[in-house]
Structure 1
Amino acid sequence: MHSHSVVREINKINERELDLGATGSWHDDYKDSAYIFIGGLHNELTEGDVIAIFSQYGEVMDVNLPRDKNTGKTRGFGFLMYEDQRSTILAVDNLNGAKVLERTLRVDHVKNYKQPKVKKEDGEWQEREEQSLNAKPEVIIGASRSSSSP
């Protein structure tokens, strides 16, 4: 079996082929969706924090972190959209299994993500007319200083 580092190297090579429209990667199933699913988020993390983590792999256009209605805290998962779908591949390959605030992230492609419907004033549900795009990150997460491991 390949070790993970070998797989990473192969993925680097595959990325070049993606530009040429080559097929054969499991990522191809998701080439029409620039959204990813993020699980394992610490509930102290804000949208800005999540954008800061994920923007190293590309321009983040949208992030949605469902919140607990009572506490207002995030519920540990969310969805994020990149400007360029190829960024999702980098994020999935590099951040799935990464540790943030002692929690292990789960990052995966999402095939058909639609933004949550919004309630109109009269109580009717409607699809959002355009995807709401969130602001640029303000918070950059530093590496936690307590642990000496990389």
Structure 2
Amino acid sequence: MNVVREINKINERELELGVGAASWHDEYKDSAYIFVGGLHYDLTEGDVITIFSQYGEVVDVNLPRDKETGKTKGFGFVMYEDQRSTILAVDNLNGANVLDRTLRVDHVKKYKQARVKGDDGEWKEREEQSLNAKPEMIDDVASESSASSAPNIDPDDPMRDYLLEKWREERAKKRGKKTKSNRKHKDETPEERRARKERRREKRARREGNKNAGLKGVEALLRSLHPSALPK
């Protein structure tokens, strides 16, 4: 909490003095990472993206987790695509209250990426920059073919990239299930296919019948309790 107050005091002092180019933020101009402390333990990476994307596009989120329970430890690191977004995040979100917890948001001068486990089971330094929150690039052909079915999301919505990514994941899952289903029935004969479709129709008819019977039961109960509630 003392660190939160200290950062806010520095910002207030700069405003009073009218500091321009010599701002304390300049010391961190080469790092697009910020440290976030005071996070509620139930917050996920998606929640953190939602909070911090107010001030720029988030391209990487690292929430350390307990090895035994898998729960977050209440702090993490966020990387912005544009380094200048870190200044806005520190100035506006440091000291903010989220789920009854006070956030501590500060610059990170030299961020060290989390190590990864290799094929041999040993932990080693990551060779490439982690960008786990950056949307994947889609080629023009795929974009044109899926443009008509993509969800209509406001381009200014800070969650747009995250929601599109989730939509693409769900779409890929459905496509995988459909492919698996087609593969399962590829060797069946025309007679078997007709029989399978007939069983499906009968099952659907039974389900509709049960639904109608259930609705009639509910209507009868409501009518007995409130005679004027439903038309006779």
The TM-score normalised by the length of structure 2 is 0.50
Residues 67, 73 of structure 1: 8 Å contact kept? yes
Provide the C-alpha distance between the structure 2 equivalents of 1:119 and 1:83, rounded to a whole number of angstroms.
26
Q: Which has the higher contact order (CA 8 A, sep 6+)?
A: 1
* Alignment partner of 1:7 is 2:12: yes
Provide the C-alpha distance between the structure 1 equivalents of 2:123 and 2:67, rounded to a whole number of angstroms.
18
**Which amino acid counterpart does residue 71 of structure 2 have in structure 1?**
K
**Which amino acid counterpart does residue 109 of structure 1 have in structure 2?**
H
The structure that is strand-richer by fraction is: 1
**Which amino acid counterpart does residue 50 of structure 2 have in structure 1?**
A
**Which amino acid counterpart does residue 37 of structure 1 have in structure 2?**
F
In structure 2, runs of 5+ residues without a counterpart are 1-7, 134-160, 164-232
The TM-score normalised by the length of structure 1 is 0.75
Matches for 1:64-103 after TM superposition, within 5 Å = 64-103=62-101
CA RMSD of aligned residues (A): 2.4
Residues 59, 80 of structure 2: 8 Å contact kept? yes
Provide the C-alpha distance between the structure 1 equivalents of 2:13 and 2:98, rounded to a whole number of angstroms.
20
Identical amino acids, percent of aligned pairs? 76
Matched with 2:162 is: 137
Tell me by how many angstroms 1:8 deviates. Answer: 9.7
**Which amino acid counterpart does residue 137 of structure 1 have in structure 2?**
Y
In structure 1, runs of 5+ residues without a counterpart are 18-22, 139-150
Residues 35, 105 of structure 2: 8 Å contact kept? yes
Runs of 4+ in 1 over 3 A off after TM superposition: 6-11, 135-138
Deviation by residue 1:64-114 (Cα, 9 ceiling, x = unmatched): 000111221110000000001100000000000000000000000000002
Residues 37, 109 of structure 1: 8 Å contact kept? yes
Provide the C-alpha distance between the structure 1 equivalents of 2:71 and 2:111, rounded to a whole number of angstroms.
22
Rg larger for: 2
Provide the C-alpha distance between the structure 2 equivalents of 1:103 and 1:8, rounded to a whole number of angstroms.
25
What's the secondary structure of 2:105's corresponding residue?
A: strand
Aligned pair in 2 of structure 1 residues 100, 8: CA closer, same or farther (>3 Å)?
farther
Matches for 1:42-57 after TM superposition, within 5 Å = 42-57=40-55
